[in-house]
């Protein structure tokens, strides 16, 4: 049985986490776990964590660490038999330490994208809230403008994707992300990718994961033959 592969992907709003996570899940057969999707599911199900989370999201704030960790860690326990990529968690050092006590990670992917690029992308980002599917009028437009490709339901633009909201979000992101980046750098598993185009970053991420995943599988084969 080959060893499982676990990774997280981090980056500021609009950096391409969701876009790249879908490509990784498709190319490497990893489960794409999105903290945003888990939050939306809990809000829709009106769970205690969901009701609490909604009050923070409405103010454009991050959900408090203890709520987010309580919401997320049980979902990871359902995934003990799968290789996965976690998108959108951890976002703080407390979350990274909570995750570290629950499982070992093989890779932490960090997207370093210029502010102007983020602003440009988010101005054209449209989402289908029930599914979390993401579109961009310049990069991956829907077949029918304003409509989700799968359900035909209306797409919306997120309030806090507006340029004036973005600067504050990015400043907050930088403050809370740096300790997480340093945490994974100290563990020797941080890989940072800087560019303005996902299509240029993707081959480098794909090469890294191909190398890492085949190394893990060959180590597991060696271990099983000894």
Ligand X SMILES: Nc1nc2c(ncn2[C@H]2C[C@H](O)[C@@H](COP(=O)(O)OP(=O)(O)O)O2)c(=O)[nH]1
Answer for the pair 157, 125: CB distance below 8 angstroms, yes or no. Answer: yes
21 binds ligand ATP (CB under 6 A): no
Peptide bond into 90 cis (omega under 30): yes
Distance CA 215, CA 181 (A): 24
134 annotated binding-site participant: yes
Residue 15 annotated as part of some ligand binding site: yes
The single residue listed with the structure tokens 């054209």 is: 124
What character string, x for contact with ligand X (CB under 6 A) and - otherwise, covers 116-155? Answer: -----x---x--------x-x-xx----------------
Residue 13 touches ligand ATP, criterion: CB under 6 A: yes
Question: Is residue 13 a contact residue for ligand X (CB under 6 A)?
Answer: yes
Q: Which is nearer to ligand ATP, 91 or 133 (CB)?
A: 91
Per the structure block, which two tokens stand in for 186? 């100290």
Q: Is 88 in the site for ligand ATP (CB under 6 A)?
A: yes
CB 140 within 8 A of CB 126: no
Beta pairing, strands 133-136 & 125-128: antiparallel
Q: Which does 142 bind (CB under 5 to 8 A by kind): ligand X, ligand ATP, none?
A: none
Which residues lie near ligand X (CB under 6 A)? 11, 13-19, 121, 125, 134, 136, 138-139, 197-199
């Amino acid at each position: 049985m080959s060893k499982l592969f676990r990774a997280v992907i981090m980056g500021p709003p609009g950096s391409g986490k969701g876009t790249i996570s879908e490509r990784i899940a498709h190319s490497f057969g990893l489960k794409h776990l999105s903290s945003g999707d888990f939050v939306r599911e809990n809000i829709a199900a009106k769970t205690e964590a969901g009701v609490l989370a909604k009050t923070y999201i409405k103010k454009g704030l991050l959900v408090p660490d203890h709520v987010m960790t309580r919401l997320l860690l049980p979902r990871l326990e359902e995934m003990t038999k799968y290789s996965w990529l976690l998108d959108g968690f951890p976002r703080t050092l407390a979350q990274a330490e909570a995750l570290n006590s629950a499982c070992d990670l093989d890779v932490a992917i960090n997207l370093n994208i210029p502010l102007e690029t983020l602003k440009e992308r988010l101005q054209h980002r449209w989402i289908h809230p029930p599914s979390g599917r993401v579109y961009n009028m310049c990069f991956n437009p829907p077949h029918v403008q304003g409509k989700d490709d799968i359900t035909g339901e209306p797409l919306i633009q997120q309030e806090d994707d507006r340029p004036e909201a973005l600067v504050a979000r990015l400043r907050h992101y930088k403050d809370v992300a740096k300790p997480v980046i340093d945490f994974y750098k100290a563990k020797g598993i941080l890989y940072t990718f800087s560019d303005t185009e996902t299509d240029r970053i993707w081959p480098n991420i794909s090469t890294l994961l191909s190398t890492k995943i085949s190394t893990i599988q060959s180590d597991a084969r060696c271990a099983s033959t000894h």
